[in-house]
A and B are shown apart, each in its own frame.
Chain A
Amino acid sequence: MAETLVARSALRAHVAPPAAPAGAPGFTLREVPDLTLASVAALKGREAELAEAVRAAYGLDLPQGPKRVASGPVAFVGAGPGKWLAVSSAATDFSALPAAVADQSDGRSAFRLAGPKARETLATLIQVDLHPRAFGAGDVALTHAASIAVTLWQLDDEPSYEILMFRTYAATLWRWIVEAGRSRGVEARLAG
């Protein structure tokens, strides 16, 4: 009998404990659920065709370098030379793009950190300079946080960030962020 596959979060309360600050929260930590993710790699000699297809389908100019562009639910994140990560908060099918497209939705987890202490907390885990003059809204960093490979981007100047990691590392990184945020008023809660 065929079993129906159900998308489930990698986080459970016993491995990703919630945290509540004593006073006003310095920042909030939440999982970003149900993202559609796909890696998009340009085929040799067809970079212009891909850029044109993305412009036609989503109205976005593919970023050159580690940048993120977004329109509605869809965003493209620079993930290396000739490589992008297509992200969507809706059920978007990226497979028609003229490129090497591979779905990553079930392999990654994403968190959102928002609030005045989010930058300082991330700076304890990440070696990339997150100061506003070096890293602002739309900027992307492919790096590691506590030796866990992550893709980080800043959404706005609150500041809020989204951080993407391999699903099996989600609970570990959650605990790192909660621990780093404990003295910075982290308010962390699982969905539901």
Chain B
Amino acid sequence: MRIACPFCGPRGVDEFAYLGDATVKRPNADAPDALPAFVEYVYLRDNPAGLHRELWQHALGCQSWLVVTRNVRTHVIDQVEAARDVAAARSSEAE
């Protein structure tokens, strides 16, 4: 599998570290249902057969955090975005 780092270009998967599910979103700790929301956030993961959004880091390269949209059945990668762009888009949506 090769991941196209937006900074470095396509590199082998050996340069990257998998850092987990990119779809989870930290819940509001002040909300009344914070406890079940945090159980969900910390422990419960979907296991889709198909497209999945994942966090990867180009650890043996430019150190960028990436959000990789990948088909886990075929390893075909649809999209690679810088995680900070995804986070910025998400926080501007929330506003």
Contacts and interface: CB of A to CB of B under 8 A. Distances in A.
B61 A142 contact: yes
Most-contacted residue by chain A among B6, B8, B15 (CB, 10 A): B8
A142 B62 contact: yes
Interface residues of A, number: 15
B62 A80 contact: yes
Interface string B8-21: 11011011000000
A65 interface: yes
Given A65-B7, A80-B7, A81-B7, A149 B12 contact: no
Contact of A127 (B12, B62, B64): B12
B77 interface: no
Contact of A66 (B7, B15, B82): B7
B62 A149 contact: no
Contacts of A128: 11
Contact of B60 (A66, A83, A149): A149
Given A65-B7, A66-B8, A142-B8, A81 B15 contact: no
Contacts of B58: 142
A77 to B, nearest CB: 11
Interface string A146-174: 01010000000000000000000000000
Contacts of B62: 66, 79-81, 83, 142
A127 B12 CA distance: 8
Contacts of A127: 11-12
B63 interface: yes
A132 B82 CA distance: 28
Interface of A: 65-66, 78-81, 83, 127-128, 141-144, 147, 149
Q: Which 6 A-B pairs have the closest CB atoms?
A: A80-B62, A144-B60, A142-B61, A142-B62, A149-B60, A81-B7
